[in-house]
Amino acid sequence: MRIAVVGGGVVGLISAYQLVRSGHEVTVFEKHRIGAGASTGNACLVNPGSSFPVPAPGGFSQAVRSFGGGTALLIRPHLRPSYVRFLLGMARASNQRVFDRQTDAYSWLGREALAAFDRLDDTGLEYERHNRGLAEVFTERDQRDRYLQQYQRVSWMAPKVRAVEGNELATLEPALADVYRFGVWTQEARQVNPTSLMQALRDAIVTAGGAVREETAVRRLLRSSSGQVSGVSTSSGEFTADRVVIAAGYTSPELTRALGLRLCMEGGKGYSVDYMAPGHGIVGTVILEDSHLALSVFGDRLRVTSFMEFGGDSAVKDRAISYITSHFEQAFPGVDSSQRTAGWAGFRPMAPDGMPVIGSVPGAPEVILATGHAMLGLSLGAITGEVIRDLVDGTLDEASIPKEFSPGRFA
C-alpha cells in the first residue's frame, strides 16, 4: 500500500520504518526538520516502567495552584474553548480510580516496550544507546516508599524496581548530593540519543525505498468522490495514499477536525539544558523527584529536562531555565556547570486523560492515529511503531487495543 505518515518525530519515524520494512511504499511529511519538536529535546530515557498517566490523583489541584509558578507543573490561564475542555477533562481524570484503570491500560504497551526496542536493534539500526539504569531519588524515606508503592501495584512493573538508600545509592550515583538518601532503582532503564536515533531512522527509511520530505507541511486530508480519505494536500502539492498515519503530535487535531473527530489535545511544554562537563561522575539517568528534574548522560554531555507547562507560548523562558540550572547545581554540587546551552523548549502532545491516541478514526478507517504520548514518546515509540505496522498489515485486531487508547473516545 501507499502510505503517508504525517510527522517526523520518534513515533512517526519508527512507524514509517516498520511500514517500509513490511513492504509498503511510505512517505514521511515533516513540516519542519526531522525531530524538530519534543523528540529532539527530551530526557533521552527509555523506561516503560514509568508508564503512568500525567493526571495523577491530586495532580489537577496541584496544577491549579501552579498558576503563580514556582513548580515544574504549570498551567497558564486563558479561555480558548478547546483548552478549557482539555482542563476539564484533566480534572475528571485526576482521581485514583481513573489513574489505576489508565495505568493498567498502559501495561498493554509498557510490558513489551523494551522488547520492541530490542527487535528494532535487531534490524541493524545503528544509533547511540546505553544501558545504565535509572535512579529516582528522594530526600525522605516516606516519600520514596509511597512512590515505590505505585510501582508495586502493577504486577509486571514490581519486579523491575527496588528500593536503594544510603551507601548503595551513593555507589550507584556518587556525584549526587548527600541530601538525596533514598531512591528507587530500575536496572533495565536505557538511555537513547534521540537525534542519533531519528537520523538513523531517516537514513534507513530512504535506503529501504521510502521518502522523507522535510519542510513540507500537510495542510489537509484529501477525499475521493466517495468521501474516503485518499491522501494529503501539502505545501508542495497533493499526495495520494491508501492509508494516512497521523503522528503529528499536539497539532494532530488540525487534521482530524475535518473527519468529525473532536480530538482534544494540548502541547505540554518541556524544557531542557545540555551541559558539557568532563569528569562529571554521573553514571546513568537520575530523576530528582522533589524538583521533577531528569538527567541523562552521554559521554561528557549531560541533558537536564523538566517542566510540563500548559497554555504557554513557544518561547524559552528565563525563569524556567533558571529553575532547571539552580536545582541541578544544588543536586550535583561537584559537577562543573560553567559550560551549558542556552536552553530548549518543545511541546509534548497530551490528551486530557493522559493516554496516547492509537488506532483508526471512526468512520475513516484509512486514517490511523499515533499521537498523545505525553512524556513517553521515546519510551513507547518502538512498540507503538509495531502496533501501527500491524494495524496497516491487518495482523492486529483493533478490538484488542485497550479502549483507553481509542480515537473513538473523542467521537
pTM > 0.85: yes
Of the three residues 301, 327, 350, the one that is the final residue of a domain is 350
pLDDT of residue 62: 62
Tens of pLDDT, residues 304-344: 999 999 998 999 999 999 999 999 999 999 999 999 999 99
Of the three residues 302, 332, 350, the one that is the final residue of a domain is 350
Q: Are residues 136 and 16 in the same domain?
A: no
pLDDT of residue 119: 98
pLDDT of residue 71: 62
In-domain check, residue 88 = no
Q: Are residues 244 and 207 in the same domain?
A: yes
Q: Are residues 230 and 178 in the same domain?
A: no
pLDDT of residue 67: 47
Weakly modelled stretches of the chain, pLDDT under 50: 66-68
Judged by DSSP in three states, 404 sits in helix
User: Which domain CATH number covers 177?
Assistant: 3.30.9.10
In-domain check, residue 68 = no
Q: Are residues 372 and 342 in the same domain?
A: no
Domain count within the chain = 2
Q: Are residues 215 and 253 in the same domain?
A: yes
Q: Are residues 135 and 273 in the same domain?
A: yes
Q: Are residues 384 and 243 in the same domain?
A: yes
Q: Are residues 306 and 295 in the same domain?
A: yes
Of the three residues 301, 321, 350, the one that is the final residue of a domain is 350
Q: Are residues 402 and 278 in the same domain?
A: no
In-domain check, residue 121 = no
Residue 378, domain extent? 2-46+105-110+194-265+353-410
In-domain check, residue 290 = yes
Q: Are residues 332 and 360 in the same domain?
A: no
In-domain check, residue 26 = yes
Judged by DSSP in three states, 296 sits in strand
Residue with grid cell 545509592, as numbered in its chain: 169
Tens of pLDDT, residues 84-140: 999 999 999 999 999 999 999 999 999 999 999 999 999 999 999 999 999 999 999
Q: Are residues 143 and 250 in the same domain?
A: no
pLDDT of residue 61: 67
In-domain check, residue 137 = yes
User: Which domain CATH number covers 198?
Assistant: 3.50.50.60
Q: Are residues 160 and 284 in the same domain?
A: yes
Cell numbers for 146, please give them. Answer: 509511597
In-domain check, residue 386 = yes
pLDDT of residue 56: 85
